Structure formats: structure tokens, C-alpha cells
Structure 1
Amino acid sequence: MESSLLLQCFYAFAATVAFGVVFNIRGQALVIAGIGGALGWFLYMGLQGFFINDIPQYFIATLAVSLYAEIMARRFKAPATIYLAAALIPLVPGGGIYYTMEHFINGRVDDAINTGLHTLGIAGALAMGIIIVSSSIRIWLNIRKEIKKRRKKDSVH
């Protein structure tokens, strides 16, 4: 199990790096994004069996990847999107989209609806994870900035 998980994380890293090349990410940022992709996949797989379905796994993995991207963005003075866009690639529900369309084409409407709703749930979990982390970071930075302003104002008087 452990070697299989490590191998999957390596594949997630490689897939993230490959998409990073397509997104024109270069140098150190490419490796950092790759680590983010591996981190997200590690958490996703590590949480298997803890929930009734996999949507919370996607959500938690996305929270971690988004937080990682925000931290790396501040550490290396770059936009978080550089790291986030590529690092989320292993979590994107491409298979669900494909199978939804396949079910529709083959006339299995019930299967298509079930698969489509599950895929939509995964996409929603990804979006919510990104929004929560991004908004929380922005709020935290604004509060910190306001506190610094007040301290500076109080020290002048």
C-alpha cells in the first residue's frame, strides 16, 4: 500500500509538472507546483475510507493544495495561481466528465445523471476549497494590515 501510494504521488507530481510545462511555468516554480500536486493526491488517497463518498476527500485535498499555493506564492513572491492551477490537475474530475458523456451517448440517462452530479459535486468541492482558502488569506492579510496601521497611528500620538 505504501509503495503504491508513493508511486501514485510520483505520478501526480509528474502530471502536474507536465501540465505546468503546458501552462508555461518555468524553473523552480514548476517543481513547487509539482510538489503541490503530489501533496493534494497524497491527502486525497490518504483520506480514503474516512467518508461515505469521495467529495470530502477532494475538498480537504483542495484546501491543502490552495493553502500550499498561497504559502509558496508569498514565499517566492509570485501569484498563487501559478502554483494552484497546475497543482490541482491531479484532482480535476476529467474521468467523471468523460463517463457522463459516454453514458449519455449510450442512452444510459440515469447513469449519466448520477455520474454528472457526482462530477459536479467534485468540481464544487474544488471550487469551495479554493474560495475558502483564498478568501481567508485575503481577510487575514487585511486584518493584519489594519492592525499595523492602528499601531503606527497609536505610536505617533
Structure 2
Amino acid sequence: MSDILYKIQNTSLKAGLALLPANMDTKLARQQLMTTGLQESRYIYRKQVKGPAVGFYQFETAGIRGVLTHETTKKHALAACAKEKVAPTVAAVYTALPQEQYDNLAVAFARLNLWWHHLPLPDDAESAWKYYLHTWRPGAVARDYANLHHKWLNNWTTVRKFLHPC
């Protein structure tokens, strides 16, 4: 698992956060993003196995639309799309996100999906879980809350140990 996290941290996470203002790249942002990536796709699936979501962070069209239009994220989303040469439309971003060459854009959109939230990023697993539920609104939670919660806590701990060894 640490091999995957190391690769993500040093490739798409670093490059994707570089598409955004420097103040968006924080330790807590990396914690939440990497945990979300593990939760959503294990950093394996760029297309949801049984559903419409795309990219390692498993965006559906509503989430893409939200990032493209929210008052706190719109200008940053437009700038990230321009840097990645993707038209700033729901359809174009949706088409781009499942492609490996756009993993950086997926990171930028995932970070922006956290940016609109009115509360600061959390520093503990349980609060991070609630933040994730509010920002991602995962549909599977209604069917399997206990297992997904347990998975989140394990993923959060794995990422915390990776980012803060010892």
C-alpha cells in the first residue's frame, strides 16, 4: 500500500495541487485527498466498477458541475482546466478524468471539492469521515454504512502513518 501512496504523492498529487494556489496544498489536504482516493478507488479504478463515477476520486457529473460553478471554486477550476488544456465543461472534464494523463486534473478537482466546505479540514479520522460524507456524498453509504465507515478509518490510519512515519 505504501508503494501506491508514494507513487500518488510524488506524481499526480504533487502535480495536481500545483495547478491550484499554494495555500491549498497542506498536510491536512493531502491526508483527506489520499484517504478519499483510497476510499473511492484504492487508486486502481479510474472508472467506477458499477456506476457512472470517473477518476481516482470517482466524480459524477453533479460533483464536476459543483466544482465548476461554486463561487469559491469556479475560478480555480477554470484555471486548472486551462492549464491541463481541457474545456471547462462538465462533459469535457467528465471525459478527461478517467484518462491517466488527467490524474492531475482529478486531484485539482478533488481538492476544490473540499475547498468549498465552510469548515476547516479535520485532523482526526472521525471528523474526516463526516467531512468526506458531506463533500463526496457517497451513495453506497446508505447500503453499507458500517463497512464503509470501518474502511474509511483504516484508510485514514494508513495515510496518516504514511505521511507521518514513526
TM-score above 0.5: no
| Superposition TM-score, scaled by structure 1 size | 0.30
Structure number having the greater helix percentage:
1
- Which structure has the greater CA radius of gyration? 1
